[in-house]
Structure 1
């Protein structure tokens, strides 16, 4: 389980995260969405969990181990991986080369990436498996820069899975994705997450996506937990509906 324990982060007079305590991964493959209005503290919380920010107080615990002072790259190798809102892929490389790079990074074999076929059959097997699971096998030889945005986003997340996460934190994976691609992107991520038993924690503003795919919703407001529960809270919590949608009771 990944736990935030009374995490607090303040920027000047702004309390971005106000003693937040919440846990993720109550079961393998749990899909959690973090929702809240702009400025609620969603990205700050994710930055604290992944080590991009250090808390003023409180702690981050993963599988019973305090990782509050662990470097971000060490958290990745320990199983805590993040995908950013802006796609992070190597545009000049093919889809296969991008995924291979992620797998090699996990295996700590990046220096041998140009002699793979003869020496690293197991790496290639893992790459093939990931490409198939994310529906990217037909694009394997395509240069990443040529892909549609939704496919690039799936490549980005596929590379994250190449790092073999136990917990994957996603920042608006459907942002900028066309309406026609949105459901396919999130459906693929959710399906692979469930299959692999990876807990995903996703910041998302599209409430239709949240309602359709969340096991649990965590709502933030003014840096604090407003509430959490199954997606039905988006319909039954009048204050949350007002905050998120401007819907009055």
Structure 2
């Protein structure tokens, strides 16, 4: 099947520094791809390029075969790219339910007439409550988002992204800053999305135990370049990853006999 999301020679330069260097990669439905690499490898910058947060110096981004390189973040979100950030990106002064309801409304099509407004508003509320239930936030639906603990803010961000029903789910270090008790909740949410079987999920994550438990495929960036791409066991064991990502000298195979 053709890829849902694809980059071709994607490059960005900041002055004389090449942060992402001609990265070509395709991402397919039904696959969770982990993008890993050492600090400064270009992982989040690559995410920013694909989601339209920053413009590319050169190269293209395609969504379902359509070149979306000229679109900014809002345009790409409307086309179906969902992005969750390292730092939560919410409306802090709105309630939990209002945050999700706005996402449901944004996903809706067509202008509401005076006669249909009430029924649509009721439908938006019901759908928002559905997503809040999925992330176990129903009990705090009327709480101001700013008052939530960090873990609940991350769950709310996932609920908002789910409400937008994107074609591509992008998680940038979803467990960053979370306590040990909070991490499993977010990972279970990602597993729920993955079980759908039709989602295209991209994950930037430093914790290799998280990567091993979730990823179908690992892409490794180093100094802005794509240096490895394949199934988790093969990529993690590869000499280039042992050296570039794990900071270890390549291991010699033990002799057998």
TM-score, structure 2 normalization: 0.87
Q: Does the residue aligned with 1:121 lie in a helix, a strand or coil?
A: helix
CA contact (8 A) 1:133 1:192 kept: no
Q: Would you identify which runs of 4 or more consecutive aligned residues in structure 1 move more than 4 Å?
A: 108-112, 115-119
Q: Residues of 2 paired with 1:133 and 1:196: CA distance?
A: 17
Alpha carbons of 1:151 and 1:193: their partners in 2 closer, same or farther (altered >3 Å)?
farther
**Structure 1, unpaired ranges of 5+:** none
Match of 2:20 in 1: 17
Residue 153 of structure 2 aligns to a residue whose secondary structure is: helix
Instruction: Please name the residue that 1:101 is paired with.
Output: 102
Partner SS state of residue 159, structure 1? helix
How many angstroms does 1:52 deviate by? 1.8
Mapping of 1:79-118 within 5 angstroms? 79-107=80-108
Check whether the contact 1:218–1:228 (CA below 8 A) recurs between aligned residues: yes
Which residue is 1:34 aligned to? 35
150-159 or 184-193: which moved more? 184-193
Question: 1-side partners of 2:77 and 2:127: how far apart?
Answer: 18
**SS of corresponding position for 1:120:** helix
Task: State the 1:189 CA deviation.
Answer: 2.2
Q: 1:21 to 1:128 in 2, by over 3 A?
A: same
**Residue 193 of structure 2 is aligned to residue 200 of structure 1:** no
The separation in 2 between residues aligned to 1:193 and 1:99, in whole angstroms, is 21
Distance (Å, rounded) in 2 between the aligned partners of 1:196 and 1:232:
21
Conserved in 1, the CA contact under 8 Å of 2:228 and 2:240?
Answer: no
- Give CA deviations for 1:143-178 in whole Å, capped at 9, x if unaligned: 223322111101011111111101021211110001
Distance 1:139 1:16, change over 3 A: same
Work out the CA distance in 2 between the residues paired with 1:197 and 1:182: 24
SS in structure 2 of the partner of residue 127 of structure 1? helix
Q: Per the alignment, in what secondary structure is the counterpart of residue 225 of structure 1?
A: strand
Query: Matched residue pairs, number?
Result: 245
Residue 172 (structure 1) aligns with: 173
Normalising by the residue count of structure 1, what TM-score does the alignment of the two structures yield? 0.90
RMSD over aligned CA atoms reads 2.3
Aligned-partner SS, 2:169: strand
Written as runs of structure 1 = structure 2, the 5 A alignment for 1:21-170 is 21-25=24-28, 27-28=29-30, 30-107=31-108, 119-170=120-171
- Cα distance in 2, alignment partners of residues 91 and 104 from structure 1: 18
The unaligned stretches of length 5 or more in structure 2 are: 252-257
